[in-house]
Amino acid sequence: MSNLKNDLLLRALRKEKVERPPVWMMRQAGRYLPDYIKLRNQYDFFTRVQTPELATEITLQPVDQVGVDAAIIFSDILVIPQALGVEVLLEEGKGPVLPKTIKTQKDINELQVDGAADRLHYVMDALSLTKKELNGRVPLIGFAGAPWTILCYMIEGKGSKTWEKAKQFAFTEPELAHQLLQKITDATISYLQAQVKAGADTVQVFDSWAGSLSPEDFKTFAQPYLLQIADAVKDHAPVILFPKGSWYALKDLSESSASGIGLDWSVTPQMAREMTGKRITLQGNFDPAKLLAPIPVIKKAVKEMIDGFGAQAYIANLGHGITPNVPVDHAKAFVEAVKEWKE
C-alpha cells in the first residue's frame, strides 16, 4: 500500500481522515475520450478487452487526461458469461447480444464454473501490466458484474428496459434462478480474488439492473449474492457494491462486509447517510447528464454534492457511467471541482 503516491481512494474506503474526497468516474476509460475512439475504430470491442496492452492503454487514458484519483481496468461485465461458456456478441452502438439464452436445467448444468477465472487470464494480465505502468500513481480498481445483473443478460439475451423475461424466470423458476445465481457468484468470487492477486487494490461489483427488483425481490435474488461476494473478497481487498436504483437496500448493505456503496442519483446525500449511519463509505452520485451543463453549473453542483455527503468516508463519482456525448473538458471540470473543494 505504502508505495502509492496517491492513496486517497483506499484511505476513504478505510474511513481514514482525508484532506478532500477522492474522485473517479464510472466508465471513465472509454467512449467520451477521442484517444479511445481512435482505438475503437481500429479494433473491435473484445479485441480491446482481451489484448492486455490495449486494455492498459485505455485504462491509463483518463488518469493522464482527466486527472482522476484511481484507474479502473478496461473490461466488461459480460466476460463472466463468456468464461462460463456462453457466447456474447457486441455490436458498436447496439449493446451486447447473447444468442443462446439460459432456459432449462440442462442449460445451467452445462455452464463451466471450474476454471472460469483462468479463462479470464487476459484480465489479470491487463491488471498486472496496468499496475506496472501506473507505478504507484493511483490505486487500480478491478470489477465484475453482480449475479442478478449477469442473470438478466443470460436470460434476456440482450439489454432491456424492464427485464421482464429475467424476472419471469426468477418468479416462475425460483429454484433454477438460484442455481444460476449461485454459479455466477462462485465464478465471480474466484474472478475477483484473482484480480486482487494480479494487482487490483479494490474491486467494485456492478449491479446495474438491481433497481428492476422490488425491495422484497432484491432481498431474495440480489442481496444474498452481493453479500456472499463481499464476504469472500473482503480479506483480499476492499469491496464497493453498486446496486443501481436500489436505495431501499442501503441499510442492509451498510451492515455487510463491503467497504463502500455506490449510489445513483435517486437518493439524496442526507438520506443515504441517514440509512447507512457512519458504518460505510459512500460513493456517487452525480447525474452523468449534468456533465452536459455549463462548467460553472457543474462546479457548483459538485460542491453541493460534497457538502451534502461530507468529505469523510466519501468518494466523489457519478451515479452511473459517463455518457459518450460528454465533452472532455466537462469531465475534467467535474474532477477539478472535487480537487478544489474546501470546507
In a domain, 2, yes or no: no
In a domain, 3, yes or no: no
281-286/314-318 β-pairing = parallel
The verdict on whether residue 256 carries a ligand-binding annotation is no
How many independent structural domains does the chain possess? 1
In a domain, 60, yes or no: yes
The verdict on whether residue 208 carries a ligand-binding annotation is yes
The verdict on whether residue 266 carries a ligand-binding annotation is no
The verdict on whether residue 11 carries a ligand-binding annotation is no
In a domain, 19, yes or no: yes
What CATH number has the domain bearing residue 166? 3.20.20.210
In a domain, 159, yes or no: yes
In a domain, 1, yes or no: no
Dig out the grid coordinates for 242 from the structure. 453498486
The verdict on whether residue 279 carries a ligand-binding annotation is no
260-262/281-286 β-pairing = parallel
In a domain, 30, yes or no: yes
In a domain, 228, yes or no: yes
The verdict on whether residue 177 carries a ligand-binding annotation is no
Write out the chain's pLDDT in tens, 343 residues. Answer: 458 999 999 999 999 999 999 999 999 999 999 999 999 999 999 999 999 999 999 999 999 999 999 999 999 999 999 999 999 999 877 899 999 999 999 999 999 999 999 999 999 999 999 999 999 999 999 999 999 999 999 999 999 999 999 999 999 999 999 999 999 999 999 999 999 999 999 999 999 999 999 999 999 999 999 999 999 999 999 999 999 999 999 999 999 999 999 999 999 999 999 999 999 999 999 999 999 999 999 999 999 999 999 999 999 999 999 999 999 999 999 999 999 999 8
Instruction: Please identify every residue annotated as catalytic.
Output: 27, 31, 40, 76, 153
The verdict on whether residue 153 carries a ligand-binding annotation is yes
Domain that holds residue 192: 8-339
